[in-house]
Structure 1
C-alpha cells in the first residue's frame, strides 16, 4: 500500500474561548471595529469577531514565535 501525499486534515471547527478583557481593551476593540467599518463600508456587528484575525496576524508576524515554531516542528519530524 502506498502512502498518500497528504496526511490527516486539520480540525478546522471553531473553538469557543471565553476571555475577560480590560475595559480599555474592549473600548479600543469597539473603536477599531468602527474604524474598519468606515474604511471598508462594511459594519462589524460584533467587535469580538475581530479578535481571531488580530491574534492570527500577530502570531503570523512575530518572528521569534515563527522561529521557535519551526524548531519545534522540525524536532517533531525527526523524532517521529
Structure 2
C-alpha cells in the first residue's frame, strides 16, 4: 500500500529538535511530511519525522553497522 521507506511512527512523547538547514532541504522535508500525511492520514511535524528518518538511514548503512559491531 505504501511506497515510503519510513513506516508510520508509533505514539511517543514529543521531543524538541532545533537544527539549521538549507532552504532546499527545508522544502524537501516539508514535501516529505505532506506525502507522509497523505499516505498515513496523519500529519506529523518535520521535527518528529527527522529522527526516524535518520535512524532508518543509519540502520540501512551497512558499513556503519559493520563498524559499530
Looking at structure 1, the residues matched to 68 and 50 of structure 2 have their Cα atoms a distance apart, in angstroms, of 21
Looking at structure 1, the residues matched to 17 and 42 of structure 2 have their Cα atoms a distance apart, in angstroms, of 25
Equivalent residue for 1:35?
A: 35
After TM superposition, the structure 1 = structure 2 runs for residues 1-80 of structure 1, keeping only pairs within 5 Å, are 18-44=18-44, 46-70=45-69
- Size of the alignment, in residue pairs? 56
TM-score, normalised on structure 2?
Answer: 0.72
Q: Which runs of 5+ in 2 are unaligned?
A: 1-13
Looking at structure 2, the residues matched to 16 and 41 of structure 1 have their Cα atoms a distance apart, in angstroms, of 23
Instruction: Find runs of 4+ consecutive structure 1 residues off by over 6 angstroms.
Output: none
Rg bigger for which structure?
A: 1
Give the aligned CA root-mean-square deviation in angstroms: 1.8
TM-score, normalised on structure 1?
Answer: 0.63
Contact preservation (8 Å) 2:33, 2:49: yes
Looking at structure 1, the residues matched to 17 and 61 of structure 2 have their Cα atoms a distance apart, in angstroms, of 22
Deviation at 1:52, TM superposition (A): 0.2
